[in-house]
Copies of this chain bind each other. A is one copy, B any other.
Amino acid sequence: MQFLLGFNAIGERLAEFEWGALMIKVGLGALKILAIYIVFLIVRALGNRIIEKAFTKYEQKENVSVGRAQTLQHLTKNILGYILIFVFVVTVLQILTIDVTAIIAGAGIVGLAVGFGAQGLVSDVVTGFFILLEKQIDVGDYVTTGSFSGIVEQVGLRTTQIRGFDGTLHYVPNREITSISNHTRGNMQAIVDIGISYNDNIDQAITVLQETCDQIASGDDNIVEGPNVLGVQTLGSSDVVLRVIAKTKNMEQWGVERKLRKAFKEAFDANGIEIPYPHQVNVEMKEHSTSN
């Protein structure tokens, strides 16, 4: 019977329920969401404006191709967008009194595991962003990174494609590009080391080499500076090594080196200077009777 009394009480309580407070609460919540949405729109617009200005300035200052600047600007705007949407959704959910913390915390565990696994991906994009931004490599550059050398075919946010000399296409994730050696940034050095016999006169050899150098230099546009004989680089076990260096146009260093090697060999032949084979002094021990 007391239960009936209890149910009786329910009716009263329902009547007493604070509908007004609820309505105010709902109304306030809606207002809050609206306000946050407006703030969201303003911040996004402002952020995009700032990004655009920064990139326009960067484009003018650094003389970057429009395509590259567009890629970078696009990425930056996207990231800003995602961050703002995330903040907006979480805030709205909170106002709806749904406790997002647990979801996020729960997601966090999976997220962390994934994060560890996916950190390579993030690392790729971060590195790729800076490779593009700092113009470290361009399509067509001849570069070396890690164990790969070749012509850059494509620079992406995640992978860089390098075409090796033998025709192989190397897909290198950007995170693997710790250091880049770009061989297409200015003139290159051609280096030729050539050995003469210990019996030859060093001064004569240097004169012959230098004359050959001068002759070649006068007839080759690819040579920017030199070639010049530096002097005795090493006293080898069988030869005296002389070094010749020349500054050449980019990518022409190998051709120049080949030309110099041929010319030096022929000049030495003409002047009777020997490029010696490895030498060995043989001490003959004639009488070898029983044991050593």
**A residues engaging B (CB < 8 A)?**
2-3, 5-7, 9-21, 23-24, 83, 86-87, 90-91, 94, 98-127, 130, 134, 136, 144, 146, 148, 158-159, 163-173, 176, 178-183, 185-189, 191, 194, 197-199, 202, 230-235, 237-238, 240, 247, 250, 253, 255, 258-259, 261-262, 264-266, 268-269, 272-286, 288, 290-292
Contacts and interface: CB of A to CB of B under 8 A. Distances in A.
A16 B6 contact: yes
A113 B113 contact: no
Contacts of A109: 104, 107-108, 111-112, 115
A265 B235 contact: yes
A126 B134 contact: no
Contacts of A125: 117
B106 A90 contact: yes
Given A20-B11, A112-B112, A259 B277 contact: no
A109 B165 CA distance: 43
A6 B19 contact: yes
Contact of A231 (B17, B123, B259, B281): B259
A279 B1 CA distance: 116
Contacts of A199: 292
Contacts of A235: 194, 261, 264-265, 275
A72 to B, nearest CB: 15
Nearest to A99: B94
A197 B275 CA distance: 12
Given A179-B171, A181-B164, A279 B279 contact: no
A176 B145 CA distance: 13
B170 A179 contact: yes
**Considering the complex of A and B, which 9 residue pairs feature the smallest CB-CB distances, nearest first?**
A117-B122, A10-B20, A113-B115, A231-B258, A13-B20, A167-B188, A2-B15, A274-B291, A169-B185
Contact of A279 (B2, B163, B281): B281
B283 A277 contact: yes
Contacts of A126: 117-118, 120-121
A64 B223 CA distance: 39
Contact of A170 (B19, B87, B180, B253): B180
28 contacts: A90-B106, A101-B101, A102-B104, A109-B115, A116-B119, A120-B127, A121-B130, A168-B181, A169-B182, A169-B186, A173-B178, A194-B235, A198-B292, A199-B292, A231-B262, A232-B258, A235-B265, A235-B275, A238-B278, A240-B265, A268-B291, A275-B292, A277-B279, A277-B281, A279-B282, A279-B292, A281-B288, A282-B282
Q: Give the one of A123, A258, A283 with max B CB within 10 A.
A: A283
A111 B259 CA distance: 57
A54 to B, nearest CB: 14
